[in-house]
Structure 1
Amino acid sequence: MRGAYKISFILFIFYFLYSCSPTKYVGKDEYLLDHVKVKVDDYKLNRSDVRRSIRQKPNTRILGTVRFHLGLYNLSGRNEKKKFNQWLRRIGEAPVIYDPFLTKRSVEQIELFLHNKGFYQAEVHDTVYYKKKRANVEYKVKVGPVTSIESIKFDAPEGRPENRIAEESGLMANYRRDTVNTLLEKNAPLDLDVLDDERERITKALREKGYFNFSKNFIRFMADTSTVKKENMAKVFVRIVENAVDSNAYKRYFVRNISVNFDYDPLVSAEQVAATYNSLVYNGYTILYKDKLKIKPKMIIETIQLQRMELYDAQRVIDTYVRLQALNLFKLVNIDFKEVESDGEVKALDCTIQLSPVKRQSYNVFLEGTHNSGNLGVGGNFTYNHRNVFRAGENISASVWGSLRKEQVNGEGKLFNTTEIGAELKLVTPQFWMPFLRMKDFRRNYAPKTSISFSYSYEYTPYYTRSIANARFGYLWRKADKKWRYNFDLIDLNYVLMKDVDKSFIDGLKNEYIKNAYTDHMILSAVFSATFTDQLLNAKAMNYNYFRVNVETSGNVLNAIDRLSGGKKTGESLDEKYYKLLGVRYAQFVKSDAEYRYNWYINRANSLVGRFFVGCGYPYGNMKVLPFEEAFYGGGANDMRAWQARTLGPGSYLATEKYPNSVGDFKLAANIEYRFKLLWLLEGALFLDAGNVWNINPKETRHGAKLNYNFFNQIAIGTGAGLRLNANFFLLRFDLGIKLKDPALPAGQRFVLFNSGGGFRRSVFNVAIGYPF
């Protein structure tokens, strides 16, 4: 019932703020802007795009109705000198007073937006309704017919002079060759945004072919509606203007010299650099540095995408920026070009790359307290990092960590009954360690890195102690646009030793499938993962997608070696004969999972995030079950928040074991979370989680645990609310999960919101760091 009181208190606060008179600070003869509606007679037109043109919008609402921030503002007193009143007004939002002038401006902006989209006969009318010091504004939009493109010609109309300078310089020939990639299409609306995108595309294509000084301002569009065959059509002409002030805008440039300043200081002039810096020439590149060369030139030169004595390419400049920043060695990267005197039609540029190094060594200490899924805990982590240990951009980090947790174990009275300690050593180098394949172009285009790590962890619980040694070798690479990232772990070795396993605990596990999780085993895997996101750095006011897919295979190479070499199997029965390596059984399986998220930005105070996850693993050969570390589970602070970790499923099975170990081979999960700003650093959230895990293994004998055609009736559903303390660099999250549907109960009794099997009486309180997804 304590959870019910918490929810009731939160709802009371919302009701209180909503009940506060929203017109408290609305003056005489003034009106609070209450609602703004947009009615469009064309359903194909995106109404949200029209709304962006409105110049005055009502106060921010959360949950669709509550003006929480206006309520905070209205809680302040009229004495503006009091600190408390100033604070409330600062974190709140002042009432939006209706302004007729801004309404008129909104009408003009909507009409301008529609004209830009090709609706030249659009009409917009506004209507204002007044009621009890509130004003509601309604915009009625009649879009009218759209003007479409009848034909496209990439030259001046007949009778117009051609661009002689551009023609003679060869620019026009390059321009015409690229018109096959045009964004303009026949019968498409005459959209100015598309025309501007076409201008950007043409400019980008020419600047990638050496035209250093070319600008999009030299591209003009003309629309002819007088000679068309049909009404509301236009002939579009795309042309390069003649009247450029500088004829060099139409000429190509090549890069003559490239110099790299490894110790750039903006306070040091070029003359001082020439007088005080050391220099050397490496593969034709001039290297400038202070006192001592801290980075090997080879690594930087291989990262630079620009080439001496080649035509200027704007895309290679961008790629060079990205590659140099990805090294994490420099706090500032700047690329500067200077025109130099040269003979002939092709001009010359000298390039200077300016690099300001970051501190090479750092350390981080992190302490945390957790209350995850009812399990109290404290933990800490110390990490030492060296960004350039061998002077070739190698990043080496050493970490040690430890934690104490309280697992919910029957009959256990200790404050903390679970201990974990561990250490990791990791090296990431920009060198691509692929001895038999040089792949020079791949290194330049994808900036691959090689990663090596070793770790060891020791875990003590009331029922067993577990040691895990891990060794990993793999590659990381990404495309220049930063949207796709790839990771291929060629070797991922886990050596798991289970010691001091409580015999009564094992005997209490009635299922052989689970018992196999508590035996010594080895996992030798190869893992490939790809991640996509179109989220822009430091851009919060946008929608974005996130997608990740993993594929893993384990044990196949070892099994092939054993078979070819005639290795002997061991085991207690013919049914359970298996190969060993280093004295333990190794796992053999294939596994894949995928996750998709979508973040919908509504306004500055509201956003909606959705997530979908599906994963499946199939064990075979040398080990008939998935190792415990590789199996899927439900519950916890980042998944089904109304269940504790590893207590959900599999399927409709009701776990009776003392220790939470409900895992499965197949997982399906979906989450949706509504997030809203409250006050100061506080954020609120409402969420709905659905999902479960199942087994597909024939060894699974527990009733309701196997995946079958009726799986959708076994999907668990939970809901809840949360508070978050968001300090930008750190987010502390509190979520209260409430069961709505529990598949472990008999059919017909699974909706449990208002009974003893779920709802507020069985709520789960989670404390975690960071957003759940």
Structure 2
Amino acid sequence: MMKLNTSHFKIVATLSLAVIISSCSNTKFLQDGQLLYTGAKINIKNDTLAKKEKSRLKEALQDQLRPKPNSSFFGLRPKLYIYNITKEPKKQKGIRYWLKYKVGEKPVLLSDVDREFNKKIIVNYSENKGFFNAKASSDTISKNKKAHVIYTLKTGARYLISQVNFPKDSTVINSEIQLLKDKTFLKVGNPFDLDVIKAERERIDAHLKNRGFYYFSPDNIIVQADSTVTKKPEVELFVKLKKNTPAISKEPFTIDKTIVFADYNIKDLKLGKYGIPYNTDSVEIYNNIHIIDPENKFKPKIFDRTLYFDKGDLYNRKDHNLSLNRLISLGVFKFVKNEFIISDSLNHKFDAYYLLTPRPFQSLRLETLGKTNSANYTGGEVNLNWTHRNFFRGAEQLKAAIYGAADVQVGGPKDANNIIRVGANAQLSIPRIVAPFRFHSSSAYVPRTNINVGYEYLSRTQLYTLHSFTTSFGYLWKENERKEHDLKVLDVTVVAPQKVTEKYLEQISGNPDPDNYIAPNPSLQRVIDKQLIFGPTYSYTYTNTMLPRKNTFYYKGSVDLAGTITGLVSGADAKAGKQKELFNIPFSQYAKMEHDFRYYRKVNVKSSIATRFIAGIGYPYGNSTSMPYVKQFFVGGSNSIRAFRARTLGPGSYDPRTQNATFFFDQSGDIKLEMNAEYRANIYKFLNAAVFADAGNVWLVNEDPARPGGKFSKDFVKEIAVGAGVGLRLDFSILILRLDLATPLRIPYYPEGERWTFDKIDFGSGAWRKDNLILNIAIGYPF
């Protein structure tokens, strides 16, 4: 149980007393005759409405009322209290001004409430929902300098739709509208609802926009309601065009010419360098696309691949938006603008203009990073990144980077084993599918072919040096804004060790000397083994988090198959002593799968709940008896189980404290389970707070004598680690600085029956805080 000393109790008691006082002292700041407005209540009188419908109507009406009362927290109004106790500042700046007008809230008085206006709002909203005979009244209740208003709404009968008519005429546009009437949102028997009528107008407009009616607008449609047809509370609806609809809105338009200004500058246009209409002498025509690119910055075929309109095509909004989105997704244009200019009004034709402003093709960026980690390592990293966004004049992006990093161990119980990393990598991204087969994509996102190469030199002084080479070839494409596919047809990693010291080898084989005993740890051999990993990888991502919904999801699933075909063809069987090699290196053979599912729920405007579940498994077979170290799973750290330091947890119930090593080494596993939950709330503008809980672990597929308790078993639930904590997020728009303070609540390597640690929590103990409070500093949200 958590221990609180006397000083802690006094602080809590004082804060509690202050809150209680603030709840009852706000009214003493009011002048004579002033009443603090505490809100409104709505009573609905209608015996025919169902309970859910009445509740829904009441909630909607409540949102319409103005003004809103002062914000409250469990019935208290601390922001109002801060405003009241803060003296009027002399200047519109400084801490006092910030405290009174930014943190505090000005009192909302009953005199600020326009009850007649609110009654009109209530009646008007009710009529829009079909209650044509609605009447509202109000009453004010005051006590102890506080007042609230009660609005009573007598709705009368709700009018239902008796019939929906789409009057016919001989125009082209009417024939298009007639095709839509069977799928109308206006259904006989449903209540009259203005919001549904607006949606119906938008539906008709969307269809007409895809049938060439570029100049049409939802405002051109009128829905007339006739309530005099019967004596029942019913209305007959008539959906038709307004009489004053412009003639141009009634005609479908076709594309005459498609003109691209590939190097558009608004200043040049004003000076008349190009002009609209353009000078045909400076135009290159490619597949009916007129391209103005005097400096030949782009290959014409990229516009043919990107733009959907062709000469004679009927205008439609779908192709209009697809073309714009694909131009933007090329990544080479800073601004993309589209205009349609009538070229033949008699035959209803217009020219499609695309005004494209390129981004600077080349950029150079230098990044520096300072860091410290849980193993007493302090260091820094320098990255030099170069990007060319139009490398072969076809919007190909070439990114190259070189980097260097050093981590030096300062302090701590272990010997210094500094880490030095130097590397380089390059990626060529081509905005199309380069393949012997035909790939057609009608999405708004240009598919890409990606080629990557990289090298890294890693030196862990006094231990070993590793050379790592990577390369991959694959495709990235999106079906839509929610679905993305990433297929690497070939993903290759080669790891070659160098300068492995006797000190490290001793950790592997052990030392039987009683005065310097070191237990054998054969698993460390995998770190310095030569590794050849090759095969396809695939990942699928679905997300709707960009949509303005209360509940959103994110899912990413990935599959990694290494050495599968080669292993089968060669008959590799490492367990039977038939391990095969390529280029004198045993190749890895395994299957790996991982699933990452996230769920986000908005509680209200200023708070939300985020949850995540991760499950992964890697299974070695054929030419491998264990997963490659670089492909295993790890947990702990700022984006995982935050109560445990990075890569120090697991596998299973293995106790890392039993290591008799002269250096830290990471704990890894073949199976991973992780669950996270976080409540996020905005405190003030850029300042956000969070309360979180994390749980999970990693396990091994096969038994490892050097790490007892690491194998996955039916008792895996008993080996789940649990941590919890609080955090602050400073959202500066360009970046989010995150500070999370966590403590372990369940430690899987403790003896069974003693793994929950609630009885050991002691915030008053300096030794406990040092060992159990883990501070994570990171950029961005953990998930």
Q: Deviations over 1:23-78 (max 9, x none)?
A: 3995424455567778998346558756543433355568x788676676567532
- In the alignment, which residue of structure 2 is the partner of 1:520? 530
2:68 to 57, 75, 79: 57
Q: Which has the higher contact order (CA 8 A, sep 6+)?
A: 1
Name the CA shift for 1:128/1:307 in 2 (closer, same or farther; >3 Å).
farther
One-letter code aligned to 1:206? L
Alpha-carbon distance in structure 2 between the residues aligned to 1:511 and 1:661 = 13
Matched-pair contact (CA < 8 Å) for 2:140–2:149: yes
On the 8 A contact 1:738/1:753 being kept in 2, the answer is: no
CA distances 1:330-384 after superposition (whole Å, capped 9, x unpaired)? 221111011232555xx11111111111111112222222344465442232211
Equivalent position to 1:286, from 279, 285, 290: 290
Tell me what 2:566 maps to.
558
Q: How far 1:307 sits from its partner (Å)?
A: 1.8
Deviation digits for residues 68-103 of structure 1, max 9, x if unmatched? Answer: 766765675323326332343464243341345256
Aligned residues of 2:432 and 2:447 also touching (Cα < 8 A): yes
Identify which of 752, 755, 776 aligns with 1:766. 776
Q: Would you say the 8 A contact 1:487–1:530 is kept in 2? A: yes
Q: How far apart are the structure 2 equivalents of 1:327 and 1:433?
A: 16
| CA offset digits 1:544-588 (Å, max 9, x no partner) | 43332222222213224434xxxxx697xx634322222222222
* CA–CA separation in structure 2 for the residues paired with 1:86 and 1:561: 77
Matched, 1:349 2:359: no
Structure 1 counterpart of 2:99, from 67, 82, 88: 88
Equivalences for residues 20-99 of structure 1 within 5 A: 21=22, 23=26, 27-28=30-31, 29-31=33-35, 42-43=51-52, 45=55, 52-59=63-70, 76-81=86-91, 83-89=94-100, 91-99=102-110
Q: Specify the code of the residue in structure 1 equivalent to 2:508.
A: I
1:417 and 1:39 mapped to 2: Cα distance?
A: 72
State the distance in 2 between where 1:10 and 1:384 align.
Answer: 55
After TM superposition, the structure 1 stretch with the greater mean CA deviation from structure 2, 630-639 or 505-514, is: 505-514
The answer to whether the aligner puts 1:329 opposite 2:332 as a matched pair is yes
Structure 1 Cα separation of the partners of residues 633 and 241 of structure 2: 62
The structural deviation recorded for 1:653 is 3.2
Are residues 18 and 496 of structure 1, via their aligned partners in 2, closer, same or farther at CA, if it must alter by over 3 Å? farther
Distance 1:677 1:445, change over 3 A: closer
* TM-fit CA distance, 1:475: 1.3
- The CA deviation at 1:108 is 5.2
| Aligned partner of residue 492 in structure 1, secondary structure | strand
Whole-angstrom distance in 2 between the partners of 1:498 and 1:754: 47
- Distance in 1 (CA, whole Å) between partners of 2:191 and 2:400 is 58
Deviation track 1:110-134 (CA, whole Å, cap 9, x = no partner) reads 6655554556688888776666655
What CA deviation, in whole Å up to 9, does each residue of 1:124-148 have, x standing for no partner?
Answer: 8877666665556777889898666
> 43-52 or 660-669: which moved more?
43-52
| Letter of the 1:724 counterpart | R
Question: What is residue 566 of structure 1 aligned with on the other side?
Answer: none
Deviation at 1:317, TM superposition (A): 0.9
Q: CA RMSD in A?
A: 4.1
Gaps (5+ residues) in structure 2? 45-49, 511-518
Contact 1:278 1:288 in 2 (8 A): yes
CA deviations on 1:508-551 (whole Å, 9 max, x unpaired) are: 676766754552222213222222333449x8x97643332222
Structure 2 partner of 1:683: 688
Superposed counterparts of 1:421-440, under 5 Å: 421-434=422-435, 436-439=436-439
Corresponding position of 2:514 = none
Q: How does 1:169-318 map to 2 (within 5 A)?
A: 169=172, 171-179=173-181, 181-184=183-186, 190-223=192-225, 237=238, 239-241=239-241, 243-267=243-267, 268-269=269-270, 271-274=272-275, 278-290=282-294, 292-318=295-321
How much does 1:314 deviate?
A: 1.0
- Matched residues, number: 744
- Structure 2 partner of 1:460: 459
Contact 1:18 1:71 in 2 (8 A): no
Query: Measured at CA, do residues 512 and 60 of structure 1 come closer, stay the same or move farther in structure 2, by a change above 3 Å?
Result: farther
1:600-749 equivalence runs, <5 A: 600-603=601-604, 605-655=606-656, 656-657=658-659, 658=661, 659-679=664-684, 681-697=686-702, 704-749=709-754
Counterpart pick for 2:553 among 545, 560, 575:
545
- Counterparts in 2 of 1:94 and 1:616: CA distance versus 1, 3 Å: same
- Assess, with a 3 A threshold, how the Cα gap between structure 1 residues 84 and 242 changes in structure 2: closer, same or farther: closer
Is the alpha carbon distance of 1:16 and 1:371 closer, same or farther for their aligned partners in structure 2, counting shifts above 3 Å? farther
1:721 shift after superposition: 1.3
Change (3 A) 1:4 1:140: farther
Quote how far apart the aligned CAs of 1:303 are.
Answer: 0.6
**How far has the Cα of 1:737 moved from its partner?**
0.9
Contact persistence 1:150–1:228 (CA under 8 A): no
Q: Deviations over 1:667-724 (max 9, x none)?
A: 2222222233345643322212222223344668955434444433433221111223
Rg larger in 1 or in 2? 2
**Of 114-123 and 416-425, the range deviating more from structure 2:** 114-123
Q: 1:266 to 1:692 in 2, by over 3 A?
A: same
C-alpha distance in structure 2 between counterparts of 1:116 and 1:716, whole Å = 55
**Aligned CA distance change for structure 1 residues 693 and 155 (closer, same or farther; 3 Å):** same
| C-alpha distance in 1 between matches for 2:367 and 2:14 | 35
1:392 aligns with 2:394: yes
Residue number in structure 2 paired with 1:594: 595
1:751 aligns with 2:756: yes
Q: Distance in 1 between matches of 2:236 and 2:681?
A: 48
**Residue aligned with 2:319, SS:** helix
Q: CA deviation at 1:498?
A: 3.6
Whole-Å separation in 2 of the counterparts to 1:525 and 1:465: 25
Whole-Å separation in 2 of the counterparts to 1:77 and 1:95: 13
